[in-house]
Amino acid sequence: MRKSFGALSDIRILDLTQMLAGPYATMVLADQGAEIIKIEPPAGDVTRGGRHAGDTEPLSTYFQSINRNKRSVCLDLKSEQGREIFKTLCKEADAVVENFRAGVMDRLGLSYEVLSEINPRLVYGSLRGFGDRRTGPSPYVNWPAFDVVAQAMGGMMAITGAEPGGMPTKVGPGVGDTIPGLMLAFGVLAAIHNARRTGLGQFVDVSMVDAILSICERAVWQHTAEGLVPGPEGNHHPFLCPFGIFPAADGHVALAAHDQGFFDVLCRELDLQALARDVRFSSKGKRADNRRLLIPLIGQHTRKFTKAELTARLGGRMPFGPVMNVLDIVSDPHFKARDMIVEVEHPGGEPARIAGVPVKMTLTPGAVLTRSPFLGEHTAEVLRSIGMSAPEIRSALDRKVAHIENEVSPEQIPAGLAT
């Protein structure tokens, strides 16, 4: 049985999402205790397959990272039986979430309109590259999209990179997926809150490119207010200085000393009295106007010190931090104290390390309690909960799961499959 915990323990969501964006949305809800029932096709989520050294087929480390705390039910929605079971599950669900291309659920006979007839309070969350016709028709509504497309068309790449006119630069992590995922999680929660007040669910639509544009808001208002078309900003701020990345003897550091008090600290701790007295840098406005002069002058001094030495001089005295890679992060006391690197059971070897829960609560703390589920691991358990008998459940089990049951001993069957 599922262990109940967290602020969202009374919420049940049917999760049809795959890849990164949608599963990330439901992961952040699962981390706060929402019951996420991951509905997977017979082949499973495509990210289950191993891609990296040490991965195993049932649970890749990628899949582990974004599907923890969830339960897996294997249903073939292309079959009449699978669709009927899914409709029954919808009767007691707060929300359905999917990230298929436009029209897929409609063609399956499982559109929002069909499901809302079954459960009027059901929230239907949708995440696609360019949104859904229900909230605003886009000429690109049928286009597929991934992270790189969202970053490109949402305006992020245009302002990311080293030099104006240079090659557009993709942000390293898949923010074109994860940011829309966060917005979908917020939208679904908001709609559930409203449904509990009014008894009426609704369609929640998140476009990946819209989500990226929304966080590039500065480019929009700069264009409005100043007529600018902002370009790549490199590692420094377009109108605050010093505010960015500076060299160290063994790497780089980030610092923000644009305000006078912080600039005074920087100059004092790095023995930059000459800069402090220089009339060209005597105010925030002058530092911004002369940033192309100031940035290399500061860099000449920061590169004399290691990251540890700069941390000793500047850490805690001004906005400052060393540029850290994952080796630095996993050994850093902050991330250990904040439980931001957690271990989950991983088949066939050592536990998998994944990122922890960033939203901390004192009364109802979130947590990573369980590894990601095996394909169909909880099918029998969930189907029993809606009144299906053992023979009905056996007939509904995916062939791949049924094969597992026939070929292995009972103690080897993942919990929840035995009927």
Question: Residue 405 has what pLDDT?
Answer: 39
Q: What is the mean pLDDT of residues 324-344?
A: 96
Q: How far apart are CA 56 and CA 48, in angstroms?
A: 8
pLDDT at 224 over 60: yes
Nearest Cα neighbor of 322 from 338, 333, 336, 311 is 311
Length of the chain: 419
Question: Residue 182 has what pLDDT?
Answer: 98
Which residue stretches of 31-165 are H helix?
61-66, 80-90, 104-107, 112-118, 147-153
First vs last C-alpha separation in the chain: 14
Mean pLDDT of the chain: 91
Q: What is the mean pLDDT of residues 105-117?
A: 98
User: Tens digits of per-residue pLDDT, 122-176?
Assistant: 999 999 999 999 999 899 999 999 999 999 999 999 999 877 777 889 999 999 9
Question: Residue 54 has what pLDDT?
Answer: 53
Confidence band of 222 (pLDDT split at 50, 70, 90): confident
Q: Is 173 exposed, middle or buried (0-12, 13-18, 19+ CB in 10 A)?
A: exposed
Confidence band of 411 (pLDDT split at 50, 70, 90): very low
Q: Which two tokens stand for residue 85?
A: 């079971």
Identified catalytic residue from 132, 147, 177, 398:
177
Strand pairing report for 71-74 and 35-40: parallel
User: Tens digits of per-residue pLDDT, 228-274?
Assistant: 888 888 899 988 999 999 999 999 999 999 999 999 999 999 999 99
Q: What is the mean pLDDT of residues 66-88?
A: 96
pLDDT at 402 over 80: no
For the chain, count helices (H), then strands (E): 19, 11
Q: Is 391 exposed, middle or buried (0-12, 13-18, 19+ CB in 10 A)?
A: exposed
Confidence band of 400 (pLDDT split at 50, 70, 90): very low
Q: How far apart are CA 41 and CA 375, in angstroms?
A: 9
Given a contact cutoff of 8 angstroms between Cβ atoms, the answer to whether 385 and 1 are in contact is: no
Q: How far apart are CA 25 and CA 95, in angstroms?
A: 13
Q: How far apart are CA 201 and CA 112, in angstroms?
A: 10
DSSP 282: S
Note if the bond before 242 is cis, omega within 30 degrees. yes
Catalytic, 177? Answer yes
CB atoms within 10 A of CB 189: 22
Which residue stretches of 318-419 are H helix?
326-331, 333-337, 379-385, 390-396, 399-407
Q: Tell me how far CA of residue 282 lies from CA of 72, 103, 278, 285, 299, in angstroms.
A: 61, 60, 6, 8, 18
CB atoms within 10 A of CB 297: 16
Tell me the pTM.
Answer: 0.90
